[in-house]
């Protein structure tokens, strides 16, 4: 611990580990999370470590063993299998029109399609997401990991505007419906947010979503 700098404002696990910052080892809990379930929902206030947890999971599922040297995970995990990871961060945009959310989701899909290809018959955002998950699984020979940071940011920004709120809710419900339709291709999924108010309506089709908000 001597000489270590606290990573104030840093939410990237790789940056913390490579930069020699002070890190409280919670990787044993991460290992337990991964080994005991597949679909998780986590609601916490901002600045409570959600993004760092997602970043840690991303590094783990990408098989970056070197980042876990000296941590509990290094001894717990024996296989270090690399999985395709689809990470969606909704915390980085301003959502004030239906198109603003659609553009954000489309941007993520375009980046994933550069890696896993696209299919002209997939017209909607949800269909494209389904296709990406399926192709990633087929091409990599491994199930897919889905990580979503701040799932509720668009709906929080639309509080007071019922029409926009409904539009965002419908878009996200259809988009996340891909997780259910492609369940056989998914290894692990974590969706985080600040509130639970949108959980019932947005994730109503995901009846296997384990709420770990008290974790």
Count other Cβ atoms within 10 Å, centred on residue 153. 21
Task: Quote the tokens at residue 60.
Answer: 């783990």
Task: Quote the tokens at residue 213.
Answer: 């908000």
Exposed, middle or buried by CB within 10 Å (0-12, 13-18, 19+), for 109? buried
Beta-sheet strand order (sheet of 186-193) = 85-89, 144-149, 186-193, 39-43, 210-211
Given a contact cutoff of 8 angstroms between Cβ atoms, the answer to whether 12 and 35 are in contact is: no
The pLDDT tens digits for 120-171 are 999 999 999 999 999 999 999 999 999 999 998 999 999 999 999 999 999 9
CATH topology of domain 13-211: Rossmann fold (3.40.50)
Q: How far apart are CA 126 and CA 204, in angstroms?
A: 16
Q: How confident is the model at residue 199 (pLDDT cuts 50, 70, 90)?
A: low
Task: Quote the tokens at residue 98.
Answer: 């239906």
The pLDDT tens digits for 30-43 are 999 999 999 999 99
Given a contact cutoff of 8 angstroms between Cβ atoms, the answer to whether 180 and 206 are in contact is: yes
Instruction: Report the alpha-carbon angle 177-13-20, nearest 5.
Output: 180
Task: Quote the tokens at residue 9.
Answer: 């404002």
Count other Cβ atoms within 10 Å, centred on residue 159. 10
Q: How far apart are CA 39 and CA 157, in angstroms?
A: 26
The pLDDT tens digits for 18-67 are 998 899 999 999 999 999 999 999 998 776 789 999 999 999 999 999 99
Q: Is the whole-model pTM more than 0.85?
A: yes
């Amino acid at each position: 611990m001597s000489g270590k700098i606290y990573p104030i404002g840093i939410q990237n696990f790789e940056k913390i580990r490579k930069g020699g910052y002070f890190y409280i080892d919670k990787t044993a809990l991460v290992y337990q999370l991964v080994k005991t379930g597949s679909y998780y929902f986590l609601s916490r206030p901002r600045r409570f470590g959600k993004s760092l947890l997602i970043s840690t999971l991303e590094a783990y599922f990408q098989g970056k063993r070197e980042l876990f040297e000296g941590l509990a995970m290094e001894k717990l995990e024996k296989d270090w299998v690399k999985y395709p990871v689809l990470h969606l961060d909704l915390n980085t945009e301003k959502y004030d029109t239906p198109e603003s959310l659609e553009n954000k989701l489309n941007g993520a899909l375009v980046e994933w399609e550069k890696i896993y290809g696209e299919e002209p018959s997939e017209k909607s955002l949800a269909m494209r997401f389904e296709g990406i998950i399926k192709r990633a699984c087929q091409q990599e020979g491994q199930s897919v990991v889905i990580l979503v940071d701040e799932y509720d940011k668009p709906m929080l920004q639309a509080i007071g505007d019922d029409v926009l709120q409904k539009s965002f809710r419908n878009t996200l419900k259809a988009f996340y419906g891909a997780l259910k339709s492609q369940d056989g291709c998914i290894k692990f999924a974590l969706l985080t947010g600040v509130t639970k108010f949108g959980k019932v309506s947005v994730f109503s089709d995901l009846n296997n979503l384990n709420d770990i908000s008290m974790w």
